[in-house]
Amino acid sequence: MRRLEWDNMGVRVDGRLLHHLRFADDIVLITPNISQAERMLFDDACGKIGLQLNLTKTMFMRNGWVLDAPFSLNGTTTSECSSYVYLGREVNKMNDLAPELGRRKRAAWGAYKSIEDVVKKTNNTRLRAHLFNTTVFPALIYASETWVLRKQDGNAVSAIESSIERVLLEVTRLTQVRAAIRSSGVPPYVNSRRSGTLPFTPS
C-alpha cells in the first residue's frame, strides 16, 4: 500500500485525505469521483505483485454525490449496481434501510423455523425465551450497530420481534397486551439500542 501513489487522492476528512479503509481481507477505496477511482484501481499496481482483476465479477456503486459517468478498468467498462451485500449487511446507493430490514425479518423467521420442532416439544417458557434470545434475536439484529434508525424503522423491528415472540410463546396479541408483557411501553430492542446493551451477534 505504501508504494501506491495515492497521496493526493481521496476525500478530505478533518483536514486529512482519506482514500481507503482496510479490513481483514477487504479494502474499501474512497474517492470523490469516478475518474479518480479508475486511477486508483488501475491494474498496473496489481500486476507488479502477480494479481489480476477479475473484470467479469467487478462492479461499482456510487452515491448521490457522484455524477453519473461510465467506469472503465483497463479499457473494459464496468457494470454499476444499486445495492450489494457486504459482511452480511445490504448496502444501497439510496442508504435505504428498508431492504435490509426485510432481509433481517426473513433471517429471523428462518432462525425460528430452525428451532420450531424443539419449541413445540417443550412447555417451558424460560427455555423458549432462551431459544428466542440466542437464536432468533441475533438473526434479527445482525449488524444493527451500523443502522441509522428512524422511528418507523425501530417500530418495524419491534413489530417483527413481537410477532415471532407471540408465535414462540403461543400467545395472542390480545393476551400479550392484557398480560402487560410490554408493560414499559418500549420494546426490548429499542431499549437495548438506547442503553447500548445489544447482545453479541455472531455471523
pTM of this prediction? 0.73
C-alpha cell of residue 143: 449488524
Q: How far apart are CA 59 and CA 23, in angstroms?
A: 19
- Cβ atoms 166, 113 nearer than 8 A: no
Q: What is the pLDDT along the chain (203 residues), one digit of tens a residue?
A: 666 778 889 999 999 999 988 887 777 888 888 888 888 877 566 677 777 778 888 888 888 778 888 888 878 888 999 999 988 899 998 889 999 999 999 999 999 999 999 999 998 888 888 898 899 999 999 999 889 888 899 889 988 988 888 888 777 665 555 554 443 333 456 555 555 555 444 33
Q: How far apart are CA 192 and CA 149, in angstroms?
A: 13
φ, ψ of residue 125 in degrees (nearest 5): -65, -40
φ, ψ of residue 83 in degrees (nearest 5): -160, 160
Closest C-alpha to 132, from 154, 114, 153: 114
**Which is it for strands 27-29 and 20-22: parallel, antiparallel or unpaired?**
antiparallel
Q: How far apart are CA 13 and CA 19, in angstroms?
A: 10
Q: CA distances (Å), 172 to each of 9, 67, 110, 115, in order? A: 58, 51, 21, 20
